[in-house]
Each structure stands twice: as structure tokens, then as C-alpha cells.
Structure 1
Amino acid sequence: MPPHFALLVNPAARGGRTLPLLEPVARRLRAGGAELTVVIGDDAADALERACAVVAERPDALVAFGGDGLVHLAVQAVAGTDVPLGIIPMGTGNDIASALGVPRGDPLAAARTVLRMRSRLVDAALVRAGDSEELFAGVVACGFDSRVNERANRLTWPPGMAKYLVALVEELRRFRPIPFRVTLDGGEVIEREAMLVAVANTRSYGAGMRVCPDASPDDGLLDVMMLDVVSKAEFLRVFPSVYRGTHAAHPAVSIRRARSVRLEAGDAVAYADGERVGPVPVTCEIRPGALRVIA
């Protein structure tokens, strides 16, 4: 029997500029022998409801046609099931796809990867904030980076990654260090002022920032990176090195590993896979092998 793929589409990815590529990708999948059901929600909640409904019908894969935000949504639908997640990376960052070895910048190559149906088990992680909880596949950000995200989400211009650069500059001008309390595995407690804390299942976020360069999505652990207080001049000097992962050698950077992490801080919010989770405190817990992915 031909494989049946549910193709979950974010029509707003890159401001809608990816939609012209949807039909060529669909043609490539059909030419490879697949049957397709295209799933498009009116909004994120509707898309998740539709994705969960189609996963309950047990397709051969749920394929996310979009960026990390859509992958994050798809993870909620497939985690803990035997339906694998395929990715056609069409977003700005595509960090989760990169971590899994999915071709970026070539949607037809990504479609060929989906057609090969070679899947593997990887970890997901649960993040709790107040009464809500959700899964993430990539990175939870809290501190300077999440405040940049908050600021960028309020901007209507410029488009794409440029608004994050504008938000970064504006936030850096106003930012003050945040007092954090970080609890690892319910035991060790770290209390100090810091610029940010990142809890990572995969190595990068923010379109290639390798915040935890050695994080692995299948080791059953979360990497926890803390950036201690540095001057704004030093922050700007070191910032480019995060794209190479060499920031990890800076004396203000520490990286630990744990199965669970609780973050407490004053006046801070958390983002998971670029999606807003909510104000801290938050707790992150690894879920080994909870996700089957095509990679």
C-alpha cells in the first residue's frame, strides 16, 4: 500500500512566502507514491486540534511544512504515539530540522527524506508553567533571549530576522541582570544573577545560535546553559561566537546536564522552540524516546 502522509501546513510561514512551494512539494511526495491529506488550521489551536485528529487516524507520518513553531505544534500531536514526524523546513530558523539532519533550504530534498521513511527515536521534553504544560523538541529560553523574543513579537516592522536584531539592540540598551534560582534533578541548587538560562534538548535556536553545542536529542538528558553577568560591551563581543558554539569556553558560560530543571526568576518569561510558554517559574523534564522522527 502507498504511504499516507498528513501534511501539516503553516500558511503564515515567512509571511506566506513559502506557500508557492507547497504545490511542488506535494507533487514530489505524490510522485514518490504517497497519498496526502493537507491539514491547515485557522489558528494555532485549530491546527493542533486538526493535527491530533488526523494522527488518531494513524497516517504513516505527520509532515510539518513550516518552521520550528509548526514543528513544536506537531510534536504535541505525535509524541507518545507510533506516528513519526517528518519535516519540510520552511521557517526562518529551522533549528530542530538542522539538529535532526533534515535538509534545509531545499524543500524537495526534504520531501525525498520523508519518502525514504527512515525513522529514529529521539527525546522530547515537558515544560510546565503554572497549570499548563507542553512538550518541546529544541530549546527553552529564559532571560535576555526570551525578552528579545517578547519585544520582537510586538514589532510589526521590519520583517523576518531583521526584527529580532532590532529587538536585540533595544533590549540590550535596557536590560538588567536577572536573579535566577536553578534546581537540577530536584537536588543541586544554583542561585546567582545571570543574563539568561537555556534548557536544551537540541543544540541551537534563533536561526543557528548553538547555545548548547554538545546537546544531543537522544541522550536522555537536557543541557542547561547559564550566562553569568557580563558587561554589554563584552556581551556584544562574545555574541557572534554563539553561532559557532565557541562561546561555551567563555568564563561566564557554564553548561550542566540534568533530567529535570526548575527555573525561578524575577520578571522573566520562558519560550520553548520559539513559542511563548509563560512567566517563570517553569519546570522542564526530559521524556526519553518520546518522539519518532523521519531524519
Structure 2
Amino acid sequence: MRKVTLIVNPTAGRGRTARLVEVLQRAQGPDCEVLVTRAPGEARELAGSRRDDTDRVVVAVGGDGTVHEVGGALVGAEAIFGVLPAGSGNDFAKMLAEPPPPESAAEYFASAEVRRCDAGEIRIRHADGRSTQRYFINGVGIGFEAVVADAASRARWLGGSARYIVSAVRRLLTYRAPDAVLRFDGREVAGPLFLVAVGNGRCAGGHFYLTPEAAIDDGLFDICFTTTRSIPRLLRRLPAALRGRHLAFDDIELERSQAMQLQCPDGCMIHADGELLARNAVEVEVDILPGALRLAG
């Protein structure tokens, strides 16, 4: 049996995850530890300190932000990655098997089937000259999607996926797409890129299936993008994106690739797994890392 580390973000799910701590602690055995984070970034540190343990499953207990930290720390690691969803959106968890009840989590992850899962790497050059790098698990959003993710993270007065939907409608009426150049597989798309969604998983923002056919083990990203600026058109496409049917519109495209680059001289916003990485990025490079995670479940 494997050892199990449950890393719990007590603020996920508007604080609902905090109520899981006692349940998890009561169910833990001698080969299970429950670690509760106290600050942003701590989940990444805790997971990183256990990345070389081949017989350990490190489980993110929380939302996509917790998945981002724990999974990112385990890219290329010996330790196994697991997810017990307890957040508002739980986008990456939609790609996984049905999660166990909290009281059975330790037992489940100790013996769950392990498979290989892709991850991604993003490198950003910011308008102020800084360069940053980050691993991600579920996906990257550039432009409008990042603006919505940022707005939703501050709309704490709304619960669950409602904050993403309300934020999307509000920002849609005022957002202006910057001119950018998107490149992948020898193709170049130039113009006002309203949205670029790079999906390892299928869902973003809790309910938006922007890359509805993505797979986490095919060695490819699904890249959804549009250059349309018509607000009436975009308002009609928004409900379709909730069901993954927006690709039926001829002004929305989806391609698959192992890498993409984007240049945006005027700067754009970027998120990865719902976490804001840049407010004013001018150059972006994204690469797939095939099979970079050992995944339980």
C-alpha cells in the first residue's frame, strides 16, 4: 500500500473545504498525513518536498488553484498526483474518475490505478521586461478568458460557477480584444484575438467547455480561439460554450498542437488553471509535457 499525503486548502469552495479537515483526520491511518495550508504557495512547497517519494500519493484537496500548486510541484516527479475536488469550479476533476467520499479518500488513493497524464509549461515575457515560467495542469486562458477568471476570483459574493457566468456577461459588454499574433504548427493567425483557450482538460470556469474534446493523455493541447469582435455574436456563442457546442459557429476555431506562441505588443492578461499569471504579457510560449505526471484515479 502507498503512503498518502492529503494537502487541504481550507479556503477552497468558499471555506467549505475547512469542514472536511476533521473528516479526513478521523479517517487517516499510519500511512496517511493530512496537511492544511495557511497561505498561497504553501501547497506547492508541501508537494515539492515529497516529489521524490515513489510510493507516495500527494493529493490536492481543494479547487483548481490547489490542483495548480500541487500538480505543478509534481511535474516530472516520482510521487503520484491525486485530486479530491472541493472547490467552486473543479475543472480538472471533470477529467478524472468519480472521486471517493472524504472518509474513504486515504484508502482509495493508496490503491487507485495509476496512469500517465500530460501537463503544460508556460513562459511569459511581461511588458515591464520580466520573464516568468509556470507549469499548469488543466489549461491556459489568454485575453477574455483571463479577464473573466480574474473578475470571478474577486466576485466572492457569488457562489460556485455563477460568479464565472456573471463575470463573463459583464466583461463581454466592455472588453476590447488586443491585436495579437498566434502561431502553432506553421500557421499564423493575426488580428484582434478575443480569446485563446489552451486546454489540456475540457472545462474552464466551472461550466465553460471551451475545449470539449480535449484529452489529458494524448500529448496534445486543444487550442480554441476567435477573432470576432461582434458583441451580439459573442452573446449568442456564450450559452453554446456552456455545452461545448460553440465550435459549430464558423468564427470559432479549434486546433490541436504540441506548442503555441503568441505576441501581443499592447499586452494581454493570462491565467493558468484559474490563477492569474500576467496582466500585461507581450510574449507567450506554451508547450505540452507528455506524460509528465503520474496520476491516481
TM norm structure 2:
0.89
Matched with 2:99 is 103
Counterpart pick for 1:73 among 61, 65, 69: 69
What do you get for the CA RMSD once the two structures are aligned?
2.2
Name the CA shift for 1:269/1:222 in 2 (closer, same or farther; >3 Å): same
Residues in 1 aligned to 2:277 and 2:38: alpha-carbon distance in whole angstroms: 21
- After superposition, the C-alpha distances for 1:123-160 in whole angstroms (9 at most, x for unaligned) are 11101113221111111001112112223334453354
Counterpart pick for 1:84 among 73, 80, 86: 80
Name the CA shift for 1:103/1:162 in 2 (closer, same or farther; >3 Å): same
TM superposition shift of 1:63: 0.8
- After superposition, the C-alpha distances for 1:182-241 in whole angstroms (9 at most, x for unaligned) are 1114x3221122320111111111113111111111111111111231522222222111
Matched with 1:249 is 248
- After superposition, the C-alpha distances for 1:233-263 in whole angstroms (9 at most, x for unaligned) are 2222221111221111111111111111112
Deviating more after overlay: 92-101 vs 42-51: 42-51
The amino acid that maps onto 2:167 is A
Residues in 2 aligned to 1:261 and 1:23: alpha-carbon distance in whole angstroms: 44
TM superposition shift of 1:180: 2.3
Name the CA shift for 1:229/1:112 in 2 (closer, same or farther; >3 Å): farther
* Partners of 1:198 and 1:224 within 8 A in 2: yes
Name the CA shift for 1:45/1:76 in 2 (closer, same or farther; >3 Å): same
The amino acid that maps onto 2:248 is A
Matched with 1:17 is 16
Residues in 2 aligned to 1:134 and 1:77: alpha-carbon distance in whole angstroms: 10
The amino acid that maps onto 1:264 is Q
Query: SS where residue 176 of structure 1 aligns?
Result: coil
Matched with 2:133 is 133
Counterpart pick for 1:43 among 22, 39, 45: 39
* Partners of 1:62 and 1:84 within 8 A in 2: yes
Matched with 1:236 is 235
- After superposition, the C-alpha distances for 1:74-104 in whole angstroms (9 at most, x for unaligned) are 1122110121111110011111111123438
Matched with 1:147 is 147
Query: SS where residue 82 of structure 1 aligns?
Result: coil
* Partners of 1:87 and 1:102 within 8 A in 2: no
Residues in 2 aligned to 1:20 and 1:45: alpha-carbon distance in whole angstroms: 21
**Can you give the 5+ residue segments of structure 2 that lack an aligned partner in the other structure?**
126-130
* Partners of 2:142 and 2:197 within 8 A in 1: yes
Matched with 1:124 is 119
* Partners of 1:172 and 1:232 within 8 A in 2: yes
Residues in 1 aligned to 2:164 and 2:253: alpha-carbon distance in whole angstroms: 25
**Can you give the 5+ residue segments of structure 1 that lack an aligned partner in the other structure?**
none
Name the CA shift for 1:202/1:87 in 2 (closer, same or farther; >3 Å): same
Number of residue pairs matched by the alignment: 289
TM superposition shift of 1:113: 4.1
Matched with 1:217 is 216
The amino acid that maps onto 1:140 is V
Query: SS where residue 70 of structure 2 aligns?
Result: helix
The amino acid that maps onto 2:111 is R
Query: SS where residue 194 of structure 2 aligns?
Result: strand
* Partners of 1:88 and 1:111 within 8 A in 2: no
Matched with 1:287 is 289
TM superposition shift of 1:68: 1.0
1:160-175 aligned at under 5 Å gives the runs: 160-175=160-175
* Partners of 1:182 and 1:264 within 8 A in 2: yes
Name the CA shift for 1:210/1:160 in 2 (closer, same or farther; >3 Å): closer
The amino acid that maps onto 1:256 is E
Matched with 1:202 is 201
Residues in 2 aligned to 1:169 and 1:109: alpha-carbon distance in whole angstroms: 39
Residues in 1 aligned to 2:272 and 2:66: alpha-carbon distance in whole angstroms: 12
The amino acid that maps onto 1:205 is A
* Partners of 1:147 and 1:268 within 8 A in 2: no
* Partners of 2:60 and 2:66 within 8 A in 1: yes
Residues in 2 aligned to 1:241 and 1:29: alpha-carbon distance in whole angstroms: 43
